[in-house]
Amino acid sequence: MRLRHRVLEAIERHRLWSAGDAVVVACSGGRDSVVLLDVLTQTRHAHGGALAVLTVDHGVRAESAADASFVVALAEERGLPHRVVRATAAGDDEAALRAVRQEAFDEAVAAGAVVATAHHREDQAETVLLQLLRSTGTAGRRGMRWASHGRVRPLLGTPAASVAAWAEARELSWREDPTNRHPHYLRNRVRHELLPLLESLRGGATASLARSAAHAAEDDALLERLAAEALTMNQLGDGVRTSFIAEGPPALTRRALRARWPELGARVVDAVLDAARRGRGVVAVDAHRAIIVRPTSLQLEER
């Protein structure tokens, strides 16, 4: 039963929520989210969160309605309020399904709750690998945060084996989603092919990846703070001093640009850095806006 203490420690150490706060548990009906729901219910008097349950019926599988009903039954057994969001995704790819979930989570956060998800240590390792495959900096290598944008992850440091052990010890039931093994999804191939291969090459690879993510998170937090301070010192009206972007350390100037204009993508940021070093230029952001780089400052303007 050490998982109980691990979760309570994580809630306190990472300040995931305080007693009396509304905590919506995102539960798909799968093993991991069922375990999270069970652990938080078992420890609710210790962590003090006001629990509720949210499940999303994407409508892309014939069994999805039955999965949602299963989650509703779990919530009712535990005396918890529950909500089922039924939505049709724009497609059956990972991004489309994730967008549906995020919209439901955003609504809960907007209503004043935090949304607890069941991501564990192996999920963190998968996320780091996926980010590396897509090409990423420190921000991507940090993986998922314990808390961000109203999402909290009490199991993030927990090995999947500990989650499975809790499910067995508590004799829990859950629903199996066959799409979790379908090779159509890149994350599934990372989970079922790449991570096992890495473990066979070097035992403990999963734990090492998760540990590296924690170190990257510390580095990234420091860089974000330094970039924010540098941005404050180098703002000129609505713009940013060109000399800072041209001559400053890229680790700070990239973050400063994204902090000033969060909509800038990686390629746009690279182009702005190049233009700043030249002392002038126009970098399109979208069909209607561009970063105009002048010798003194650069600004986001309508075109």
**Cβ atoms 131, 140 nearer than 8 A:** yes
Residue in this structure with the two tokens 């860089």, named with its chain if needed: 223
Q: What is the dihedral of CA 225, 228, 234, 237, to 10 degrees?
A: -170
For residue 253, give the nearest of 278, 270, 239 by alpha carbon.
Answer: 270
DSSP per-residue codes, 96-138: HHHHHHHHHHHHHHHTT-EEE----HHHHHHHHHHHHHH---H
Q: Which structural domains are found in the chain, ordered by start?
A: 2-208 (3.40.50.620), 234-302 (3.30.465)
SS3 68: helix
- The residues with which 84 forms a beta bridge, in sequence order, are 55
Could you list the pLDDT tens digit for every one of the 303 residues in the chain? 589 999 999 999 999 999 999 999 999 999 999 999 999 999 999 999 999 999 998 776 778 889 999 999 999 999 999 999 887 755 566 677 788 889 999 999 999 999 999 999 999 999 999 999 887 778 888 899 999 999 999 999 999 999 999 999 999 999 987 777 777 788 889 999 999 999 999 999 999 999 999 999 999 999 999 999 999 999 999 999 999 999 999 999 999 999 999 999 889 999 999 999 999 999 999 999 999 999 999 999 998
Task: Tell me the whole-structure pTM to 2 decimals.
Answer: 0.83
